[in-house]
């Protein structure tokens, strides 16, 4: 799912980046909840879980925490 971020939330996010993640259930794949947790971390809400886990994904897929490659 393509997402566009505009702005850096007062310096919380790295800008001018293009991120491409592997396909479903591949090592390095991330879920939308990781993006939403990134927004929460930028707003000062330090959570590591969001919504329900996708039990169809194997354990190699990290469904916890924000997208660290996006955060400053």
Q: What is the DSSP letter of 34?
A: H
- pTM score of the predicted model: 0.91
Return d(Cα 60, Cα 28) in angstroms, integer.
8
Q: What is the pLDDT of residue 1?
A: 84
Domains in the chain: boundaries: 1-72
| pLDDT tens-digit series, residues 10-66 | 999 999 999 999 999 999 999 999 999 999 999 999 999 999 999 999 999 999 999
- For residues 57, 62, 63, 68, the Cα torsion angle rounded to the nearest 10 degrees is -150
Q: Residue 62 has which token pair?
A: 């990290």
Q: What is the pLDDT of residue 33?
A: 96
Q: What is the pLDDT of residue 3?
A: 92
Q: What is the pLDDT of residue 25?
A: 95
């Amino acid at each position: 799912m393509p997402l566009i971020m505009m702005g850096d939330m007062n310096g919380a996010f790295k800008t001018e980046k293009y991120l491409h993640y592997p396909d479903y259930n591949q090592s390095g794949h991330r879920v939308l909840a990781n993006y939403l947790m990134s927004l929460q971390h930028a707003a000062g809400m330090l959570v590591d879980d969001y919504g329900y886990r996708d039990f169809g994904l194997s354990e190699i897929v990290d469904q916890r925490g924000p997208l660290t490659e996006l955060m400053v």
